[in-house]
Amino acid sequence: MYRRVDSWYSDFFHEGKRYVKSWGAISKTVAKEKDRKFRTEVLEGKHAQKSRQILFEKFADKYLEAARLNKKPSSAKRNEVSINALKPYFQGKLIGAIHPFMVEQFKKERKEKNKTPATINRDITTLKNMFNKAVEWGYLSHNPIDKVRNLAENNEKMWALSPEEEDKLSAACDARPQKKKYLKDLVLFALHTGMRQSEIFNLKKTHCNLEENYITVVDTKNNENRKVPMNESVREILERQIEGNTSEYVFCNSEDKKITVLTNAFWQAVSKAGLERQEIKKDGEKKKIRFRFHDLRHTFGSRLGMAGVDLKTIMEIMGHKSHKMAMRYQHPTPDHKLNAVKLLDRPRDRNFLVVHRKV
């Protein structure tokens, strides 16, 4: 509470909203009493902004319409999948009547139906985004579920290829009976650029600057262009794939049409190379894991990290927005750690020890 000229004012925040009220030219004692009463009424919700009455399913349709207009098609489709999962639980309810306990019950029931934590979290994220839009569009005064926590996800560990595994996968890809041999180049290209599968499939010849040795990656996951440097291996692959290719895209099938899906040839090559393993979960259950195309990107990042490339450079090349994502590539593989301790197997050379003491 403060005084300006002759008038006293109440000025405070509650649940992210600012409340300001003038009491006019009255005594400080009376102003304090009015301020106390006003704050109590705000806490009791008597001055809360009233929600515009709209049912969940109707607001969901409005949200999806905006998502299709402003988001990438894949993101809008993901929102639609989540909303289809949310509707059976929340349809018929006003959005202003949905509260955190309802969301917790939704999480519980989805988990009992054996939905993965990752799937449930995507649904919760969509719901939170919906409520944020409801605030932005004036349907709600605040997001009532913004503090609902996501479930812990037991994500599969990254698989970074060893040189021996890379040789086996390369040979297996080379042996696939395709009319147009692109699979091996596709794998090697991912290993040397760290580009996502969709980014490689969408790569056009005009995006490749062979003179200045860089590739422009457009329409990325983060909706921003980035430049990926081109080494000699990448240059050779590009020249090989572009030669005699009548399509605007770099990687094409035997009919020079853009590749849109990863064919079974890749998974067959993964099996032939023996890139499958069993992992034991916390509950003792065995889980079969096989190498994925996205692990080629993980391998690229891990190799840069183990080569001592700084974090910012890795982030810029791979298109990461947060340090947390790029930090995964600062963890060395078991072989890399083994080679590190093997340094201690060297003969005890006095000069070697003195140098390392100084460091």
**pLDDT string in tens for the chain (359-residue length):** 888 888 888 888 776 677 888 888 899 899 999 999 988 888 777 766 555 679 999 999 999 999 999 888 888 999 999 999 999 999 999 998 899 999 999 999 999 998 888 899 999 999 999 999 998 888 888 898 988 998 887 655 778 899 999 999 999 998 876 655 789 999 999 999 999 999 999 999 999 999 999 999 986 555 678 999 999 999 999 999 988 788 999 998 888 888 888 888 899 999 999 998 877 666 667 778 889 999 999 999 989 988 888 888 988 999 887 777 777 776 666 676 677 677 667 665 545 444 444 44
Residue 81: HSE in the Cβ half-sphere, 13 Å Cα cutoff = 12
Helix (H) or strand (E) holding 227: strand 226-229
- pLDDT for residue 353: 47
Cα 301 from Cα 317, distance rounded (Å): 9
- Give me the amino acid identity at 87: K
- Residue-range domain boundaries for the chain: 2-43, 56-136, 158-359
Cα 98 from Cα 90, distance rounded (Å): 8
Q: At the topology level of CATH, where does 56-136 sit? A: DNA polymerase; domain 1 (1.10.150)
Alpha helices in 44-153 (DSSP H): 56-70, 73-90, 100-112, 117-136
What CATH homologous superfamily does 158-359 map to?
Intergrase catalytic core (1.10.443.10)
Cα distances from 255 to residues 15, 72, 182, 251, in angstroms, run 60, 28, 12, 11
Which three-class secondary structure state does DSSP give residue 53?
coil
Cα 99 from Cα 147, distance rounded (Å): 11
Helix (H) or strand (E) holding 327: helix 323-327
Kindly report the pTM of this predicted structure.
Answer: 0.60
- pLDDT for residue 261: 86
- pLDDT for residue 343: 66
- pLDDT for residue 249: 93
Cα 123 from Cα 133, distance rounded (Å): 15
Look at the alpha carbons of 265, 253, 178, 273 in this order and tell me if their dihedral is positive or negative.
negative
Say if residues 145 and 99 touch (Cβ distance below 8 Å).
Answer: yes
Cα 83 from Cα 62, distance rounded (Å): 12
